[in-house]
Structures are given as C-alpha cells and as structure tokens.
Amino acid sequence: IELEVELRQAIARKQLFLNYQPQIRAGDGQMIGVEALVRWNHPTKGTISPGVFIPIAEETGIIYEMGTWVLREACRQMKEWHRGGGPLIPVSVNLSSQQFHQTNLAMYIKEILEETGLEPQYLELEITESMMMDATVSRSILNELTESGIRISLDDFGTGYSSLSYLKLLPIHKLKIDRSFIRDITENNNDKAIVATIISMAQHLNMDVIAEGIETKEQLDILMDNDCKKIQGYYYSKPLPAQDVEEAFFAPM
C-alpha cells in the first residue's frame, strides 16, 4: 500500500527513468535498435525493478499514466538522438494489456509522435503473445497503429500457449524469441529445435526475428548458425542509461 502511494507520486516527482538495451546485428556488431525499460529511482529504496512495480501499476490503474510517460520519454530521447547525429534506429516500448483497454490508445500514441517529432517507423510496440489472446488487443487498434507506420513486435514469443492463427490475422512485424528458449540452448536439443523453427517460421511469414537473453558466445553461435542475426542480451549489453548507450554504442563524433 505504501509503495502504491509512492508510485502514484513517482511520475510527478521525476523518479522514473528509462534504460535502453541495445539490439545488435551479429556479424558487424552494429546497434540496430534499443528496447526502452522503465526503472524507479526510489528515494530510500534505491532503484526498483519494473518486475516489482509494473504489477502494482497494473492493479491500481497507475499504468495508464506511467505507460504514457514511458512512451513520451522513449520517443523524446530517440528524436534527440536522431537530431544530434546519432544512429537512425527505432525504439521498442513495452505495452501492458491494460493500455489496450483505452480505446483512444492509437490516437494518443500518434499524438506523442507528433509532439516529439519522432517519425512513426522509429517506434516499435512490444506486446506479449499472451496479450494477443486477450480479446482486448483488438485488431482495429493494431491496424490503426500499423497503418500510421508504427511497428508491432511480439514479445516473449513461444511462451503464450497460443494458437498461431493470429499471426496471419494481425499486423505483426517481428517475433522476439523468449529467453527461456535460449538459456539452455547449448545443451538442450529441444530448445534448439524450437528456436530454429521459430526463426524459419518468421522468415516464411516475412517477419523480422530477434533473439533475447543471449549471454554467451556459444549461444550467439547457435543463433547465427540458424540465420538469426538480430540479438539482444547481456552478451552485448545489459540495459543502460541513455548517456552510457551513447558512449558505448554511438560512433565517435
């Protein structure tokens, strides 16, 4: 309860901030995108993980204001990078299923893009596979978003107990292979087979595919052998403050 009260005030008190995890093209090591991940700089408890406060935000409705703040801040930062001569890459933003209960979701996301000046093709929205099964992730909202040029990425792909039929019904641009399939991939042939199949399916469906949770060279080699060249994971970088992304991943200016 106490945390809930503090969380309500966290936005106004500017205690939220975003870290960005680079997404890398294996082969040349180029940063091809970043995922925005929210953090809470709590006055006494230090940095609190979204794994702790997102569920509270979802239960209490704080997620609406927080989700809007995350979107605006991610778009603002990306536009600042673009203006400053940084790489012309997209930012991925995670959405909660509650955000799809807002019938004006597509409209206000387009407003944020206009406000910040970020072109729509540089915004990617991450929704989880389990959210797709929720009737609230409506086809009309997804269509409205994608018709404006925004891209949709399916997070945690492979873990959602879902039917594959929505892949052909809905406008989805990218599959993110869940890190649970990557963790033991060097020893587990079932994981390796599942990952190879997801990559192949994405290629056949003309979708982009990225692997998450790559921590070792051995895991990376298996992904590359299977023709998955987009990689996100601690092997390349953990999520970093914006300034650290600039220092480590922008070409020297």
Residues that bind Mn ion (CB under 5 A): 94, 126, 155
State which of positions 130-189 bind ligand G (CB under 6 A).
155-156, 179
Which helix (H) or strand (E) segment is 127 a member of? strand 123-128
Helix then strand then coil, in percent of the chain rounded to 5, is: 45, 25, 30
Give the separation between CA 161 and CA 62, rounded to whole angstroms: 28
Q: Which two tokens stand for residue 182?
A: 């990557």
The Cα–Cα gap between 128 and 156 comes to 6
| CA-wise closest residue to 177 among 203, 200, 199 | 199
Q: How far is the CB of 181 from ligand G (least distance, A)?
A: 12
In the set 31, 34, 37, 105, which binds ligand G (CB under 6 A)?
A: 37
Which residues lie closer than 8 Å to 8 by C-beta, 6 or more apart?
60, 62
- Asked if 49 touches ligand G (CB under 6 A), the answer is yes
What's the closest the beta carbon of residue 214 comes to ligand G, in angstroms?
6
54 binds, among ligand G, Na ion, Mn ion, none (CB under 5 to 8 A by kind): ligand G
Minimum CB distance to Mn ion, residue 92 (Å): 7
Binding status of residue 155 toward Na ion by CB under 5 A: yes
Give yes or no for residue 91 binding ligand G (CB under 6 A): no
- Told to check if 50 binds ligand G by CB under 6 A, we report yes
- Looking at this protein, which amino acid is placed at residue 30? Q
Segment 210 to 239, residues that bind ligand G, using CB under 6 A: 212-215, 232-234, 239
In whole angstroms, the minimum distance from the beta carbon of 156 to Na ion comes to: 4
User: In angstroms, how far is the first alpha carbon of the chain from the final one?
Assistant: 47
Contact between 103 and ligand G by CB under 6 A: the answer reads no
Nearest-angstrom CA–CA distance, 227 and 209: 10
Binding-site ranges for Na ion (CB under 5 A): 155-156
Q: Interface residues with ligand G (CB under 6 A)?
A: 21, 37-38, 49-51, 54, 70, 94-96, 155-156, 179, 212-215, 232-234, 239
